[in-house]
Structure 1
Amino acid sequence: MFRLKARDVRSSVAARFERWLVPDGGKVVRGVPVAELRYLGFGLQGSLPPTDAYRLLSGDLKATGSITDGPAGFDCTLLEVPSVEPNPEAGAAASPTVVCAVPQDVRAFAGLQGQIAITSGQVTNVPTLPVTAVAGSADRGEVSLVLDDGTVTIREVGLGATDGAIVEITSGLDAGMRVLASPPALVR
């Protein structure tokens, strides 16, 4: 724990202090790490495809963990993991890494496999489309809008939450509008 402008700041999990990353009295902006801590328990670690980082690494994140052939359905805290620099020799972008801190009361052993389910938000009663009908998957996209006379035009739409199968449409369409089941071609 440390104090910031008369406010106590605590780690979200039991951890051991490793080192300060900012000198005493140094000024930082929101989101800049100030200390390095080491989690004292087990963690489930996984990497995300870089394209999924758009959808998952923002907002109010919650995680549920499951250890293969072991305990399942436990809530776990997501820990920030330092970014890995891409390896130019590997020829691929570095995947963001997530770690789900297994609670101390969950029996775990080193080397076990598991799964992490991450929820970055939930919405209900919102307009949606299948992701297969939309070109794009984060922030904005395009759909093939069918007009009253049967012609098709391309319409830009705002995109919100998705579960990978359906995506929230935040702007650009009204209820009752028809779109094609396949996205517009990118080459026109």
Structure 2
Amino acid sequence: MTAPAIGKLESRRAEASNRTPDDGPDVGEPRSSVFTFVPSDGSTPTEIVLAETVTSVEPSVPLDVDVGVGTPLLSVTDSALTITAQLTPPQVLRLANRQPLSVRAQLDGSTGPFDCRLNDSRPTADAGTYQLTCRVPIETPGVVGSEGLLAIALDERSDVPALPIEAIAGTRDRGIVYEAATGATRDVTLGITDGAFIEVTSGLSVGEQVLIPSPSLLRNR
């Protein structure tokens, strides 16, 4: 997990049990500490919940010291299988500063789709390659090397004004279109996209027509 904002990692000791040191640890008993991320802006702290398959966890940063956005917080060893999805730069931009509404996955040759918990909602970058990873549930059959699909929903809306991606220059927040009647450019404000169509929140009315392809930098020089 990486820091979602500027803040610090805290560790709270769990309530003491009635066991004595001579009893020794129970196999599979819960960890003796709970980690919490506390944003420096005063917003609600986030308790970091560890999966049952986690076998070891160590802080990657000093406790109670503010760290920057994106700083790795914990080093975790997990015995569960994980799905690694390669992302393109445009997909990374669509995910920026947004929390997924839902994450579903399916392994080839296994059972049907399942909810897949992301290890971190922020893509990791390594040598120019962006990745997201999520844990495969214990009850889902799988082997190392399996392939599959990962579907991430950032938002859901219905009956909204939308245009094909090819009709708009820009796919996040703001864009430009060609008016069909005059060929002039017009600024529009954009909402969510499913990769084929994109929501237009202002700048056009339902029924107005635009040209395809969209305006380009070269044609507007």
**One-letter amino acid matched to 1:2:** F
Quote the residue 1:75 is aligned against: 115
What is the SS of the residue equivalent to 1:152? Answer: coil
- Corresponding letter in the other structure for 1:9: E
State the match for 2:195 in structure 1: 164
Partner-residue secondary structure (3-state), 1:22: coil
Spell out, residue by residue over 1:6-54, the C-alpha distance to the aligned partner (whole angstroms, 9 max, x if none).
9672325332443212212212467644322233201111111111111
Aligned residue number for residue 48 of structure 2: 10
Deviations 1:68-92 (A, max 9, x none): 1112211110112773343xxxxxx
When residues 162 and 59 of structure 1 are mapped into structure 2, their CA distance, relative to the original with a 3 A threshold, is same
What is the 5 A alignment of 1:50-69?
A: 50-61=89-100, 62-69=102-109
Contact 1:60 1:121 in 2 (8 A): no
TM-score relative to the length of structure 2: 0.70
The Cα shift of 1:64 comes to: 1.0
Q: Which entry has the higher C-alpha Rg, 1 or 2?
A: 2
Bigger RCO of structures 1 and 2 (CA < 8 A, at least 6 apart):
1
The answer (yes or no) to whether the contact 1:56–1:118 under 8 Å persists in 2 is no
Paired position in structure 2 for 1:25:
64
Letter in 1 for 2:133: V
Aligned residue in 1 for 2:21:
none
In structure 2, distance between residues paired with 1:3 and 1:79:
16
Which moves more between the two structures, 151-160 or 178-187? 178-187
3-state DSSP of counterpart to 1:70: coil
Which blocks of at least 5 consecutive residues in structure 2 are unaligned? 1-33, 39-43
TM-aligned CA distance change 1:179 to 1:152, over 3 Å: same
One-letter identity of the residue aligned with 2:114? F
The change in CA–CA distance for 1:8 and 1:17 in structure 2 (over 3 A counts) is: farther
Q: Please identify runs of 4+ aligned residues in structure 1 that moved more than 4 A.
A: 3-8, 29-32
Q: Distance in 2 between matches of 1:72 and 1:121?
A: 23
- What value does the CA root-mean-square deviation take over the aligned residues? 2.5
Contact 1:12-1:77 at 8 Å conserved across structures:
no
For 2:68 and 2:187, locate their aligned partners in 1 and report how far apart those are by CA, in whole Å. Answer: 35
| In 2: Cα distance, 1:141 partner to 1:8 partner | 35
**2:118 is the counterpart of 1:84:** no
Which one is further off, 98-107 or 58-67? 58-67
What is the TM-score normalised by the length of structure 1?
0.81
